[in-house]
Amino acid sequence: MASPAYIRALEEIKIYDVAQYEVPLFLRQDHTFGCVDDLPLKHLAAQTEAKSFLDIIKDAPLDNVDFGLLEEHMLQNKYDDLPAPFAPKVPLHKSYKMQFAIMKSSMTHCVVLKQFIFPEKIPRPAFTRIPRVLLSTAPKAGTPQQKAPAAPVALAQVHPGMTTSAMFVAVPAPSFAVPMFFPPMHNYPGYPMLLQGPAPQARSGLDKQIQAQGFSPLGRPPFGRHHRFHKKSNSMGELEADGRTFTHGYSKGRLSIICEHRIHFQGIERYAVQFVDGELCSADGVGYVISCDLPCTKNIQKIFSVFANRAGRICIRMHEEVERCSQQVRPLEVGDWLEVTADLWSQTVSFAVWPKDGSEPSYATVSFQEAFRNCSGRLNGLPRKPCGYLAAVIKHPGVRVAFGS
């Protein structure tokens, strides 16, 4: 049975509040879970030797890290050569891999999740609590090309914490099986997660553009190939074969609602959406629809949603009624990336506009909990529990919208 400390820690991770919990977690050899405090200090038994070890560290400084040197050591698996205080205080004499997930907690510090993975079990005394490292994946001009790692490159990501920007780090992925106690990424993509496997390959024109731009800690939200538009979007325009880019057709001046291809019933879902081409109007926008019906109704006055419009104004639509929220983001321009995070646990939707010129992003978070509670039982078609999907509203023909996530 999992310890109370482990259960509390896992719940903290799920709601992003990792900065308030510092007890490291471990996976026992028998694949049960616990925290380090559960391990005996002496006479370590085989069944309590750790195979995978996750450490949660807060208040790691950002200003004393040599990004280039640290990235070089990580890509070449030279963990013992990491400069103090990032190197292990006690050398680990068994083979291991390391991975990171990092969340910026202030302008000067960050929260870091660090994982040791061992092909063989290793005793508890080998683990030491040390400050963790932040790596930049954006190459600087004049930086020599690093040797490709023997293992594939993985991407570790963390939710931006609603008020601060997310940090990303590319590290070598283990070449052996990794025992993970997190659920799959598609269930809870917003909270700290280590992604295994090779970096995505460019497949479409949009993906080539993304790959050429690279992953920047402050330049844009994380990208992937997780989301697609619903196949019935073809009735309102042209949907590309991969389902990730839609061009609006002629609709006699009416608004068209383009939604994603699946409903999410729990957890946190993160999106990256871009208006690629066309002339935006004030009614255009992107939001999260609370509904268990797909595709989305074409009658906008039958929708419960939280959305950001072209002007950056965030609103909650409750069928015919629209509530303007005090929070807002910067106006959305063609070429900007809009990051949308829907948290069905806390019943919030967050928006972040990442400008195409690389300037500072704009963030805002809105809770729909009270509105949902007040509308339950009153509005037809509203589910008993929050579930839903992303949708974009487009008016003019020729407007092209694409998923980057």
Q: Is the pLDDT of residue 85 over 70?
A: no
Q: How many Å apart are CA 190 and CA 13, to the nearest integer?
A: 10
What percent of the chain has pLDDT above 90?
32
Domains delineated in the chain = 4-199 (no CATH), 231-403 (2.60.120.920)
The predicted pLDDT at position 337 comes to 92
Residue-averaged pLDDT of the chain = 65
pLDDT of residue 138 exceeding 50, the answer is no
List pLDDT tens digits, range 193-245: 222 222 223 333 433 433 333 333 334 575 778 899 999 999 999 999 999 99
Least confidently predicted of 35-44, 267-276, 302-311: 35-44
Confidence category of residue 254, pLDDT binned at 50, 70, 90:
confident
What SS3 string covers the chain?
A: CCCHHHHHHHHHHHCCCHHHCCCCEEEECCCCEEEHHHCCCCCCCHHHCEEEEEEEEEEEECCCCCHHHHHHHHHCCCHHHCCCCCCCCCCCCCCCEEEEEEEECCCCEEEEEEEEEEEEEECHHHCCCCCCCCCCCCCCCCCCCCCCCCCCEEEEECCCCCCCCECCEEEECCCCCCCCCCCCCCCCCCCCEECCCCCCCCCCHHHHHHHHHCCCCCCCCCCCCCCCECHHHHHHEEECCCCCEEEECCCCCCCEEEEECCCECCCEEEEEEEEEECCCCCCCEEEEEECCCCCCCCCHHHCEEEEEECCCEEEEEECCEEEEEEEECCCCCCCCEEEEEEECCCCEEEEEEECCCCCCCEEEEEECHHHHHHHCCCCCCCCCCCCEEEEEEECCCCCEEEECC
Average pLDDT, stretch 29-36?
Answer: 52
- What pLDDT digit, counting tens, does each position of 139-174 carry? 333 333 333 332 222 222 222 222 222 233 333 332
pLDDT of the residue at 104: 55
Residue 229: its pLDDT value, please?
95
- pLDDT at residue 30 in the model: 53
Tell me what the mean pLDDT of segment 94-117 comes to.
60
Mean pLDDT lowest for which of 136-140, 220-224, 265-269?
A: 136-140
Residues forming beta bridges with residue 248, ordered by sequence position: 237
Q: What is the pLDDT of residue 206?
A: 38
Region 50-63 average pLDDT: 60
Q: Is the pLDDT of residue 271 over 90?
A: yes
Query: What's the pLDDT score for residue 313?
Result: 95
Q: Which of 108-117, 129-138, 333-342 has the lowest mean pLDDT?
A: 129-138
**Band of pLDDT at residue 93, cut at 50, 70 and 90:** low
| More confident: 197 or 341 | 341
Q: Of the given ranges (26-40, 171-185, 237-251), which has the lowest mean pLDDT? A: 171-185
For residues 13-38, average pLDDT: 47
What average pLDDT score do residues 174-202 get? 27
Q: How confident is the model over 370-387, as a mean pLDDT?
A: 90
Q: What percent of the chain has pLDDT over 70?
A: 46
